[in-house]
Structure 1
Amino acid sequence: MVMFKRVDRLVAMAVLTAVGLTWCTLVALDAFRIFVAELNDVGQGQYTLAKAATYVLLTIPRRFYEMFGYAALIGGLLGLGGLANSGELTALRAAGLSKLRICASVALGLGLLTLGTAVLGETLGPWGERKAQALSLAAKSKDVALAKGGSLWARDGETVISARRGRTQAGSAEVDLDGVRVFEFDKEGRLLSLSVAGTAVHVRNDWTLRDVRRTDFGPDSASSTQQTEAGWKSGLDPRLLALSIIQPQYMTLGDLGRNIYYLDRNNQDASSYRGAYWTRLFYPINVLVLAFCAVPFAFGTLRSGGLSKRLFVGIVLALGFYFLQRAIVSFGAVYNLHPAFANAIPPLILVLAARFYFRRNA
């Protein structure tokens, strides 16, 4: 038992060190790429170089979450490659440890790191993304702002709009707004009317308020009307509003669940949120299965190849799994497969491939 604990410690430390270096490198490269892209917007409104740097820094937790799967795979290959180059991997095999046992040590080391990454994706990741979007939007546009808690405020001439939340439409930059309040003022700042609507929908360049109650204020009185649907003349650009809305893949499981419940209750399409929900649930499983199942396939390569070959193997496997997953999930969306089933197929394929490999090369 002591020997096994030492083996686990040896393999885990080698792998985690390589994963950490790979992880930081991938995130740094991705952050630098985004920073260069943000430089094109410097000078727009009040968006300065310092705000561009702050924007990128706020998105770092989310980038750590997104890059962990690739870092776990490539770092695992590099870590085992280091053990192979020093002869320690050969010694472990000569001592009677199977490839399955060594891969279990890799999974053991990555398990705790995966758990921490999942927590990061539910806490600092979404929080930083919201802060980054609010910073960018406030600096680039003086007419749209995000309030604390994610509610949206916008100004269109003498009209002020408030929305509790917004949703992007699938395949479009346009948005739907929920919990909408439209305040109309005159040039002296007096409130003329207040419209409270369940939703605001942008269709064919026009806004439509649904389930709306409008109150008009006169000098000495107020009158209210209720309508199922009413047109709303507004120059509010939905593409600008889309920049203020956190995309489903960046939301927490709780936020995704609430959006799914709301859309299902109102007979609206929740497929994008449901897909993001199950993708996030399967994220830790995909990382561990990929690291556990892909590493033994490269055992022969690790003995004969150097750093460049191990990097190549890791990148090919990571890209292969990414495209396999996206293809199967997209296939499931087209043929109305439940997202849970579609997300379970790629890791299941890897598990079956690994089982076949271990039976032949135990």
Structure 2
Amino acid sequence: MTRWRFKRVDRLVGLSVLAAVGLTWFVLVGFDAFTIFVGELNDVGRGSYTLAKAASYTLLTVPRRLYEMFGYAALIGGLAGLGALAGTGELTALRAAGMSKLRICASVALTLVLLTALVVAIGETLAPLGEQSARALALSAKSKDVSLAKGGSIWARDGNTFVNAGSGRTRQTDDGEVVDLSRVRVFEFDDDGRLTTLSVAARAEHAAGQWTLYDLRRTVFAEASATSTQSAEMQWSSGLDPDVLALSIVNLDYLNLRDLGRNIAYLERNGQDSRNFREAYWARLFYPVNVLVLAFCALPFAFGALRSGGLAKRLFIGIVLSIGFFFLQRAAVNLGAVYGLPPALANMIPPALLIALAFAWFRRFA
């Protein structure tokens, strides 16, 4: 009998939280997608970019937005779900029946764990695929000289020169934004369509208004021979627009763990700086931990407010905690970069601090 009672309690709390999280999630993702769609309307008419393509672009990015917004939805929805139980007196009845705050929070966490597992699967599959397809759609419509191939590689044209890059990234320096292309191949053709030169470089960099190829092997084809030369770096006279190329580069936060790991291995194998990729890798790895810790640890702080406050107060609590945790996490990662802390440790500090704070609150008010 006791065992069945606990199952019914879990179902009661879980369904309440599930409904609140679902509604919050829908509103946040819908508002975010609508905002992006309105922004895309400014590009309608550019090239072959139509209203239908703007809508398709927005829809393709929805899986990624579902992934990004779930943390906020889980936190606000968890508070709203408990608030709904408090408003009907069910939360008070559960407490009067001897159910502890920790046990109620555990019922909420059980629901959120299942949802988080689903969201992580979306973030590793549908989100990167949708983001890549969206960018490929937008680029092919807006620019005839740059496109994305399957797997995320970049193809660009500069007159009779065709450029292929395995991947790319942008980074900020004191001199401005730098565009980095990795695993670069440059095909140069004559007016008759014959290949005259093939250049293979470990990477290409656009900085200070010019392109530079690094670790270059250049092969020049004659009528009956081919001559190869190698150089550590070479200035590259190209009219490729770095701003357009930057649009084709998928944000590191949108890559899945496999692609991030592959890029880290490549950069480290070639003696290049992989810290940005390692930070993105560990941030993604800690994503489910951060979501569950933030949502679970926020619930005890809200119990007092849930009895006396309405939806506005619960939303305020959720927003404040979300913003506070976001800045704490950003500060920890940035300080880790400054002081040379491993990205794993820097990402571990915010949830550890939050757990300690929630534990102290439990001990004081449970």
Range into which the TM-score falls when normalised by the shorter chain = over 0.9
Q: Which consecutive residues of structure 1, in runs of 5 or more, have no partner in the other structure?
A: none
TM alignment of 1:326-341, pairs within 5 A: 326-341=330-345
Do the aligned residues in 2 keep the contact of 1:34 with 1:56 (CA within 8 Å)?
yes
Are the aligned partners of 1:207 and 1:231 in contact in 2 as well (CA < 8 Å)? yes
Structure 1 residue matching 2:199: 3-state secondary structure: strand
Partners of 1:121 and 1:149 lie apart in 2 by 16
Q: Does the 8 Å contact 2:136/2:148 carry over to 1?
A: yes
Equivalent position of 1:148 in the other structure: 150
Q: Deviations over 1:59-105 (max 9, x none)?
A: 00000000000000100111000000100000000000111110011
For residues 72-91 of structure 1, the aligned pairs below 5 Å read 72-91=74-93
1:360: how far off? 1.6
Map of 1:70 onto structure 2? 72
How far is the alpha carbon of 1:300 from its aligned partner? 1.1
**Distance across 1 between alignment mates of 2:272 and 2:4:** 57
The alignment's C-alpha RMSD in Å is 1.3
The one-letter amino acid of 1:283's match is Y
Q: How many residues in Structure 1 have an aligned counterpart in Structure 2?
A: 362
Alignment match, 1:59: 61
Residues 14-72 of structure 1 deviation map (CA, whole Å, 9 limit, x = unaligned): 00110001001100000001111111111111111111111110000000000000000
- Aligned with 2:24 (options 22, 25, 31): 22
3-state SS of 1:260 partner: helix
- Of 339, 349, 355, which aligns to 1:351? 355
TM-score by length of 1: 0.97
1:254 to 243, 255, 258: 258
TM-score by length of 2: 0.96
Find the residue that maps to 1:174 and give its secondary structure: strand
**Contact preservation (8 Å) 1:286, 1:347:** yes
In structure 1, how many angstroms separate the alpha carbons of the residues matched to 2:267 and 2:301?
44
Are 1:231 and 2:235 matched, yes or no?
yes
The one-letter amino acid of 1:185's match is: F
Structure 2: distance between partners of 1:214 and 1:103: 63
How much identity, in percent, do the aligned residues show? Answer: 67
Shift of 1:170: 4.1
The code of the aligned residue for 1:336 comes to G
Alignment of 1:77-156 (within 5 A): 77-156=79-158
Which segments of 5 or more consecutive residues in structure 2 lack a partner in the other structure?
A: none
- Matched with 1:203 is 207
Q: Counterparts of 2:112 and 2:131 in 1: how far apart (Å)?
A: 25
- Once residues 326 and 216 of structure 2 are traced to their aligned partners in structure 1, the CA distance between those partners, rounded to angstroms, is 44
* TM-superposition CA deviations, 1:141-177 (whole Å, max 9, x none): 1011111221111111121111222222245543222
Aligned AA for 2:356?
L
Q: Of residues 247, 271, 278 in structure 2, which corresponds to 1:267?
A: 271
Deviation at 1:191, TM superposition (A): 2.1
Of 274-283 and 212-221, deviating more is 212-221
Query: Are residues 1:36 and 2:21 paired?
Result: no
Give the deviation of 1:220 after TM superposition: 3.4
Match of 2:247 among 243, 249, 258: 243
* CA–CA distance in structure 1, aligned partners of residues 43 and 302 of structure 2: 44
In the alignment, is the contact (CA less than 8 A) between 1:59 and 1:132 conserved in 2? yes
CA contact (8 A) 1:173 1:238 kept: no
* Residue of structure 1 aligned with 2:318, choices 310, 314, 320: 314
Q: Which moved more, 1:153-162 or 1:126-135?
A: 153-162
